[in-house]
Structure 1
Amino acid sequence: MTNKEAIIDRFLSYVKIDTQSDETSDTTPSTEKQWDLANKLREELQEMGMQEVTIDENAYVMATLPSNVEHEVPVIGFVSHFDTTPDFSGTNVNPQIIENYDGKDIILNKEKNIILSPDYFSDLLQYEGQTLITTDGNTLLGADDKAGITEIMEAMKYLLNNPQVKHGKIRICFTPDEEIGRGAHKFDVEKFGAEWAYTMDGSQVGELEFENFNAAGAVVKVSGKSVHPGYAKDKMINSMYIAMDFINSLPRLETPEHTEDRQGFFHLNAIEGDVEETTLHYIIRDHDREHFEARKQMMQDLAGEICNQYERDCVTVEIKDQYFNMREKVEPVMHIVNIAEEAMKQVDVTPIIKPIRGGTDGAQLSFKGLPCPNIFAGGHNFHGKYEYVPVESMQKAVEVIVKIAELTASGIQNSELKIQD
């Protein structure tokens, strides 16, 4: 279908553009440099022959592939984001191409002794004999989610060049700021006009996800009383010690490093403080809505208990919901997952149906009225220097997109498709 060289060339042209987002910014996009790739994508879509190509004041890029069948077909969409995480540098990305991977250690950076090893990253062994694109050990790669963009673009190019492949109207959108949780905030669902869509934002080949964490962020502020340490007896209240009490009172094994599958967690991801005031930044995650609400309440209750202990209002907890589990919005239209599963099977990809231990634009879009499961984009080890993507996985993702379009246009009956539990 799509040759490897075309995918490699397109992908490299995208990852070399720095599009790191910034959670401290209140603009959309959060960084000006995201416009560089957004404008490039708009131009490429126009040159490719896509219709209704637009870019709005917030850098959301949309385009249409018109239907080439006479009968009525549901309008479907495909979505990916072009920003990269603030967690690791995306400046001067210098990818390495490893052809015919031999299953051994890959030296990413000889000077810094940075090695991508299957001894630690065992997923590498799935791709022996394939072509891998890695970092040079200094930056992330950006496969999250420039692999997804590459795949959508290549799929649209294929469908444009092969009109014998029948499909309905397809809408695509590339978004900013997904990595800071805002990718869907200004997404115009009504303008997009699709009945359902798929985010191409998963990891290894075969992933198909329609449930994700319920998510919230919590800011815990602890107040103390600063007094000269030489005269502090019975006067000083050290906020950092109170903060330690708060941290140690939460379940120690319910943290990211001790949980998996559908297990939720509390994640302390930043601390700043002194004697007078300490601030803790948490994220709260759980797939089960009741457990999620219980986690939030546990933090509030703990704050109250500590305040009672010190007989003063010394701990406050501010919690803001971020996104919710899309499962409740996707289950009523489960055929959209069934179609994706069948598409994978028809292009010889084994579906891996599992919950996302995170979130995607699709979670928020589902709650905005656009049911939106998540499909693999192929990359591994996102958000760091060990990130890599097999080119063959990107090829398969292109095939899945095309097959979803075909199946949707074929009028295949929902009853013919059975989802695995």
Structure 2
Amino acid sequence: MISKKHITDRFVSYVTIDTESDPKSETTPSTAKQWDLANALVEELKSIGLEDVSIDENAYIMATLPANINEDVPTIGFISHFDTSPDFTGANVKPQIIEEYDGKDILLNEKESIILSPDDFQDLRQYKGQTLITTDGTTLLGADDKAGITEIVTAMEYLVQHPEIKHGKIRVGFTPDEEIGRGAHKFDVSKFGADWAYTMDGSQIGELEYENFNAAGANVVIKGKIVHPGYAKGKLVNSMYIAQDFINSLPRMETPEHTSDREGFFHLHNMNGDVEKTELQYIIRDHDREHFEARKEVMIKLANDINSQYGKEVITIDIKDQYYNMREKIEPVMHIVDIAEEAMKSLDIKPLIKPIRGGTDGSQLSFMGLPSPNIFAGGHNFHGRYEYVPVESMIKAVEVIVKIAELTTKYKA
């Protein structure tokens, strides 16, 4: 259906454009270089035959593939993001193409002795004999989520070229800044005008996700008192010791490295301090809404208990919700998940239905009125030098998009 060379060339053309986002920026997009790919995508969408192609002042891209049937069927959407994570550099990406992968170690970078090994990343073994695209060991690859963009553009191109495949109206959306949690912030759901959508932003082939973490961020500030250490008895209050008490009082096994599946956690991801002041930054995650609220209460109660011990406020805590589990918005319209599952099964892809241990644009979009489950884009080991994507997985994702478009014609708008 889709040639390996065609989809590989398209993917490589995207990942070699640096689109790293910046959480410290207050603009949208957060980096000017995201416009480079955004503007190129606009022209490409026009060139493959889509209509109503637009890009707004914040670099949100939308386009339409008109229906080729007269029946009144739902309008569906496919959405991906074009920024890459600031966790690891996305500048000067030099993709390497490994034909007929032999199942053994892949030398990414001889000079720095960087190896992508199935001993460390066991998922590699399932792609023996396939074509892999990897990094050169010095950058991330950008399959998150340029694989998703590649798949959506390729699927729309295929549908334009094959009018015998019947489908309703399809909307396409590409966003900036998903990697810093802002991908859906300025997405115009009413302008998009779809009944539901699918984000093509999952990992390995077969993934189908319609639930994610409830999420909050907590900023904990501990105040101390500095006094000359030679005369400090009964006077000095070391904020770092109080911070240590706070950290150690949270459940030690309820952290990312000790949890999986639907288990939630407290994650201390940054700390900075001296005697007078220490700041702790946490993220709080849980799939269950009641457990999520309970986790926030645990942190607040702990801060209050420590303040009581000192007889004054030495700890302040500010907790802000970030996003919620999209499951509560998708369960009432579960047929949209059923369609994706049927599409995969019809293509001999085993659906891997599991909760996302993270967030997704689909979560925010679902709460904005656009239910949006997440489908695999094929990549692995996102946000780092060991990232890779099998070309065959991208081709399968294209086939899933096309099949979803076909299956949706069985439903009435």
Normalised by the length of structure 1, the TM-score is: 0.97
CA distances 1:366-389 after superposition (whole Å, capped 9, x unpaired) = 000000000000000111111100
* 1:131-150 alignment runs, 5 A limit: 131-150=131-150
How far residue 412 of structure 1 moved from its aligned partner, in angstroms, is: 8.9
The reply to whether residue 34 of structure 1 matches residue 31 of structure 2 is no
Q: Which amino acid aligns with 1:267?
A: H
Larger mean CA deviation between 142-151 and 308-317 belongs to 308-317
Cα distance in structure 2, aligned partners of 1:94 and 1:271: 34
Q: Deviations over 1:224-248 (max 9, x none)?
A: 0111222222111111111111111
**Change in CA separation of 1:23 and 1:183 when aligned onto 2, cut-off 3 Å:** same
Matches for 1:333-352 after TM superposition, within 5 Å: 333-352=333-352
Q: Which residue of 2 aligns with 1:54?
A: 54
Which letter maps to 2:216? A
| 2:317 equivalent in structure 1 | 317
> 1:418 maps to what in 2?
none
Count residues in correspondence.
Answer: 413
Residue in 1 aligned with 2:388? 388
Partner-residue secondary structure (3-state), 1:226: coil
The aligned counterpart of 1:326 is: 326
Distance 1:410 1:91 in 2: 45
- 1:113 Cα offset (Å): 1.4
For 1:386, give the aligned amino acid.
Answer: Y
Say whether the 8 Å CA contact 2:73–2:412 is kept in structure 1. Answer: no
Asked whether 1:235 is paired with 2:235, we answer yes
Matches within 5 A, 1:162-177: 162-177=162-177
1:136 Cα shift? 0.7
Gaps of 5+ in 1: 414-421
Residue 181 of structure 2 corresponds to 181
State how far apart, in whole Å, the 2-side matches of 1:363 and 1:33 are. Answer: 26
State the secondary structure of the residue aligned to 1:340: helix
Structure 2 counterpart of 1:152, one-letter code: I
Distance 1:308 1:408 in 2: 59
Q: Deviation above 3 Å: which 4+ runs of structure 1?
A: 410-413
TM-superposition CA deviations, 1:92-115 (whole Å, max 9, x none): 111111110000001111121111
Equivalent position SS for 2:150: helix
Indicate the residue corresponding to 1:68 in structure 2: 68
Q: Tell me the secondary structure at the aligned position of residue 79 of structure 2.
A: strand
Equivalent residue number for residue 410 of structure 2: 410
RMSD (Å) for aligned C-alpha atoms:
1.0
- Rounded to whole Å, the distance in 2 between the matches of 1:250 and 1:33 is 41
After superposition, what is the alpha-carbon deviation per residue over 1:35-71, rounded to whole angstroms, capped at 9, x for unaligned?
1111110011111111000000110000000000011
Residues 146-295 of structure 1 correspond to what in structure 2 (within 5 A)? 146-295=146-295
105-114 or 137-146, which deviates more = 105-114
SS in 2 for 1:396: helix
SS at the partner of 1:173? Answer: strand
Identity %: 73
SS at match of 1:284: strand
Question: Deviation of residue 410 (structure 1)?
Answer: 3.5
- Secondary structure of 2:14's partner? helix
The answer as to whether partners of 2:72 and 2:412 remain within 8 angstroms in 1 is: no
Aligned partners of 2:14 and 2:146 also within 8 Å: yes
| Secondary structure of 1:392 counterpart | helix
Residue aligning to 1:93? 93
1:24 Cα deviation from its structure 2 partner: 1.1
Residue 210 of structure 1 deviates from its aligned partner by: 0.4
CA distance in 2, matches of 1:412, 1:176: 32
**Tell me, what secondary structure is at the counterpart of 2:358?**
coil
Residue 360 of structure 1 corresponds to 360
- Secondary structure at 1:318's aligned position in 2? strand
Whether the aligned pair in 1 keeps the contact of 2:74 and 2:411 (CA below 8 Å) is no
2:20 paired residue number: 20
Q: Secondary structure at the match of 1:405?
A: helix
Structure 2 residues without counterparts, runs of 5 or longer: none
C-alpha distance in structure 2 between counterparts of 1:411 and 1:275, whole Å:
64
Distance 2:86 2:102 in 1: 32
Q: Deviations over 1:91-143 (max 9, x none)?
A: 11111111100000011111211111101100000000000001111111100
Determine helix, strand or coil for the equivalent of 1:281: strand
- Asked if the contact 2:199–2:362 (Cα under 8 Å) also holds between the matched residues in 1, the reply is yes
In the alignment, which residue of structure 1 is the partner of 2:114?
114
Which TM-score applies when normalising by structure 2?
A: 0.99
Question: Deviations along 1:72-109, whole A, 9 cap, x unmatched?
Answer: 11000000001111111111111111110000001111
Deviates further, 185-194 or 344-353: 344-353
Whole-angstrom distance in 2 between the partners of 1:316 and 1:93: 43
- Cα contact 2:74–2:412 (8 A) shared by 1: no
* Cα distance in 2, alignment partners of residues 112 and 309 from structure 1: 52
For 1:302, the equivalent position in structure 2 comes to 302
Aligned partners of 1:63, 1:226: CA distance in 2, in Å?
60
For 1:110 and 1:295, the matched residues in 2 are separated by: 46
Asked if 1 retains the 8 angstrom alpha-carbon contact of 2:52 and 2:63, the reply is yes
* Higher mean displacement: 21-30 or 335-344: 21-30
**Structure 2 CA distance for aligned equivalents of residues 28 and 249 of structure 1:** 39
- SS in structure 1 of the partner of residue 46 of structure 2: helix
